[in-house]
Amino acid sequence: MKQIYLDNNATTPVKPEVLEAMLPFYREQFGNPSSVHWAGRMVSGAIEKAREQVAALLNCSPAEVIFLSCGSEGDNFAIKGTAEALRDKGNHIITTSVEHPAVLETCEYLEKQGFEVTYLKVDSDGMLDLDELEAAITDKTILISVMWANNETGNLYPIEEIGRIARRHKVRFHTDAVQAIGKVPVDVQRAQVDMLVLSGHKIGAPKGVGAMYLRRGTRITRFMHGGHQERNRRAGTHNVAGIVGLGVACELARKNQAADYASVRRLRDKLEQGILATVPHVKLNCHPNPDLRLPNTLNVSFDYIEGESLLLFFDMKGIAASSGSACTSGSLEPSHVMRAMGVDIVLAHSSIRFSLGPDNTEEEIDYILSELPPIVQRLRDMSPLYHRREPTPLHCDECRMVQKVS
């Protein structure tokens, strides 16, 4: 059976070059970089090299890179650390209704601690109104947190414009760039962000490692205590092999990003156009302009059927996709992103996210487009919703045939 993986927004396979670079740090170079003896010195240089590789991708100083365990930790660190550090200046945070749960749940936690949070709405295409964002800023606002790219829809947000707004009002700006890194150019200087979070396993590095850009001079309260690692900003023994892998993955992303963008964009567009041409009653859950989306992501609802049923049939054909973000799989509730966009609850349950990677091929897209229409039709034939749908208007020839029969 074929195995076709179209769930790269959930996680990606570790790249061969990354794994090769990591292996020595599980064997010969096993030391703790905090140790002062030869075994520690042997690996501390590798961490600093990885820091330089991450910084080169982001266009920042290596001293502004902090290694973490994952993107969720970074979001917690940025938001809670800012709230604690700037509590004397204000208690208001602005974010969006379509953020990753690591942001939303952190903000909800802070609300219980006395902070006020404004959750910006999005339109039916999932996009923000920047006038609404600027109007929400008050003299108590200490942080704006907006993701660079949405993990479910693939929508890209106007980070540079938001950065200018934040800078103009002297408000700190944090962005979760987990889905954007390696897919589109990310430059922290152009974007004028103060904090940015990325995750290794989204770009061909292993799970369990991530990084945060923290602009030089930015006050933040430590999120983890117990050691003096990362210049006393984040406690915990370094995941040396993972950090080395992340560094190599960032270097590969910097070198291959343009070529990968063109490759996955072409295949994504072919998949999108093929679905729209061969399957009736579908709806795109994203901005209609492909240039305002990640090149690899397609979110589409198939009316009258359950997305989970469609995924089961996909799995039997060897196709791996998603009904939303991996962090909310298993929940019976429709995606909070779909709800925020005003997607009908039934239609939201039928949404499927396809997220491609540089290893996907045109033959795989052809296979999916050949298998998808009969699967959808089979599920609709079993659906009472499909049989109760409004009848479609008859064409003139059909009208004449009905009249003759009657």
Catalytic residues: 327
Could you tell me which of 346, 265, 258 has the C-alpha nearest to residue 298? 265
Helix ranges (H only) for 86-233 are 101-112, 130-136, 159-168, 188-191, 229-232
Any idea which residue has 């343009």 for tokens? 258
Phi, psi of 291 (to 5 degrees): -70, -15
How far is Cα 119 from Cα 176, in angstroms, rounded to an integer?
A: 16
How far is Cα 96 from Cα 10, in angstroms, rounded to an integer?
A: 21
Could you tell me which of 333, 316, 315 has the C-alpha nearest to residue 324? 333
Task: Give the pair of three-digit tokens for residue 278.
Answer: 């061969």
Contact between residue 4 and residue 311 where contact means Cβ atoms under 8 Å apart: no
> What is the rounded (10 degree) CA torsion for 194, 200, 202, 203?
100
Q: How many helices (DSSP H) and strands (DSSP E) are in the chain?
A: 15, 12
